[in-house]
Structure 1
């Protein structure tokens, strides 16, 4: 005997996407509202190259070290701390630092490098502000436009002693 296969008629089932659409309606504005839009900037650092032996410099080499501590900024010549600027109202005194760096640039106009030494747990924004202060000094010109005077553009960073 021959059996007949009964084909069952299957109803077409519609996919219910209402709950998924409700989720998207809530999720997309939430993600857009909480997204962090950031701008990435790069601070260029130059690693000091090793000195070439054999030649003696005409002028004695000077070392400029700017040490950023939790409570102050100190300027050193590599051996002795020459200037110290304590934090005032939780802010570093970058104007006083600029004044000393301008004097050093006048004394050593050919000097291009400086070292910024940081204590642990110094905030990133403070580090960048000090590095910008060591690199450049903004000067207002006679026509009202700001111009930058280059101080010590070749910066090395390290840990403060």
Structure 2
């Protein structure tokens, strides 16, 4: 008589796979937090040709130079804001843009023009200042956010 032996199936060694998972799962969880992407829509400045007769021919341009800001109306410089203690004067820029918004409340677009070799961080700060500012309310110490010119175009300074 022939004996039929029951063969045991060999045990599956998954130790290496578990070691990989112990390292891979925390890495993926940590890196997932930093993979957020923020998109801001910008446009390229266009020439002001073919505008309607009723529309005022006024373009708000913030020109960023190494010496400071210049605020122009599309053809001539309206105001110059020099650097204060080696830093760009964002408060004065906000005040000037707030005055322009009071004069032209329907205006929604502005152009930021930068000279070469100016740090990218300044571009972001200036775009934030052009987009909106915070002002103190008259009745108390409440800070109010005011939207100035949310449609921003960027380009190279002349």
- TM-score higher than 0.5: yes
Per the alignment, residue 136 of structure 2 pairs with 140
| Residues in 2 aligned to 1:128 and 1:79: alpha-carbon distance in whole angstroms | 25
What is the deviation of 1:115?
0.9
Per the alignment, residue 112 of structure 1 pairs with 108
Unaligned runs of 5+ in 2: none
Q: Is the 8 A contact 1:85 1:97 kept in 2?
A: no
Partner SS, residue 81 of structure 2: strand
Q: Is the 8 A contact 2:59 2:73 kept in 1?
A: yes
| Residues in 1 aligned to 2:43 and 2:91: alpha-carbon distance in whole angstroms | 24
| Residues in 1 aligned to 2:45 and 2:117: alpha-carbon distance in whole angstroms | 25
Q: Name whichever of 124-133 and 31-40 sits farther off.
A: 31-40
Q: Is the 8 A contact 2:132 2:147 kept in 1?
A: yes
Q: Name whichever of 97-106 and 116-125 sits farther off.
A: 116-125
What is the deviation of 1:12?
1.9
* Bigger radius of gyration: 1
* Distance of aligned partners of 1:160 and 1:10 in 2 relative to their CA distance in 1, 3 Å threshold: farther
Partner SS, residue 127 of structure 1: helix
Q: C-alpha offsets along residues 54-112 of structure 1, whole Å, 9 cap, x if unaligned?
A: x53486x23321123456333223334431332645x4321111122223233444433
Matched residue count: 152
Per the alignment, residue 83 of structure 1 pairs with 80
Structure 1 residue 22 and structure 2 residue 19: aligned? yes
* Distance of aligned partners of 1:8 and 1:123 in 2 relative to their CA distance in 1, 3 Å threshold: farther
What is the deviation of 1:18?
1.3
Q: Is the 8 A contact 1:113 1:154 kept in 2?
A: yes
What is the deviation of 1:26?
3.0
